[in-house]
Amino acid sequence: MNVYRNIMSILKYKKVHMTLIDPAAQPPEKSGDLAEKADRAGTDFFLIGGSTDINSHLMDITIEKIRAKTEKQIIIFPGSRTMISRYADAIYYMMLMNSTNIDYIVGHQIGSASVLKKLGIETIPMGYLVFEPGMTVGRVGNARLIGREDENTALSYAVAAEFFGFKLLYLEAGSGAPEPVGCNVITRIKEAVNIPVIVGGGIRDYEKARSVLDAGADIIVTGTVVEKHENPYIALKDIINAI
Ligand code: 1GP
């Protein structure tokens, strides 16, 4: 099934949780085990990606191991043009809108376009905004970070994302951030735009997840909690309970 249509049909009756797995953070076999736990905890989709360069071979074998453990759909969350795999169900075709580096605005996208077309993989156009503290993605992506409480700047970007025709909008505090994007920012954006809002970075427990969802997030993403927690199943189950 078309991934975007699947996301939209789930959103008709509940909010969505996505689990981010970074193929560079552990061996592929371990990524598969984490996926099995996340699947059991009730995650809806898997995102495969990270900010450091990951070659397509590592993408392929990681996705293969994850595929063996779950039937949930797998979306590539790319950090560069090399992070492509024919085995994924879709890829976020994203623009880091507040980057100062043209490569992250259109460069990697142009560099990968012909290959993606040839593979026939579903591309989901997504506006990607990086907020303070930004962590690795803020640094690597040369982002002009948006303040986590800066509603006006965030709103201008969000409306621009809608005008560009992006089908999703991702508000990112950076993987491992101590706090997610401010709730005031999420609420203000939700009131103004009609595309689903994804919030990720810094969501590590039920309370954080609850506050972000109450503020209006349609989709939440967690990565660190799955990779670093001593019991990823319990940690994730707690967060998914907020949904
Ligand atoms: C990173 O938003 C994701 O792109 C996940 O962040 O690792 O902090 O959960 P965490």
> What separation in Å is there between the alpha carbon of 223 and the centre of ligand 1?
5
**Phi, psi angles (nearest 5°) of residue 220:** -120, 145
pLDDT score of 51:
80
The token pair at 173 is: 């505090």
Cα–ligand 1 centroid distance for 130 (angstroms): 11
Ligand 1 contacts (CB < 6 A) are 20, 172, 175-177, 200-203, 221-225
Mutate to test the pocket of ligand 1, among 171, 224, 226 (most ligand atoms within 8 A of CB): 224
DSSP string computed for 41-71: HT--EEEEE-SS---HHHHHHHHHHHHTT--
Question: Which pTM was predicted?
Answer: 0.97
Instruction: Please give the average pLDDT of every successive group of 10 residues along the chain, which has 243 residues.
Output: 96 98 96 98 96 89 98 97 95 98 97 96 98 97 98 98 98 97 98 98 97 98 93 96 96
Which domains are assigned to the chain?
3-240 (3.20.20.390)
Where is 148: in which H helix or E strand? none
Quick one: tokens of 36?
Answer: 């099995």
Give the distance (Å) from ligand 1 centre to CA of residue 18. Answer: 10
Count of Cβ atoms closer than 10 Å to residue 120 Cβ: 8
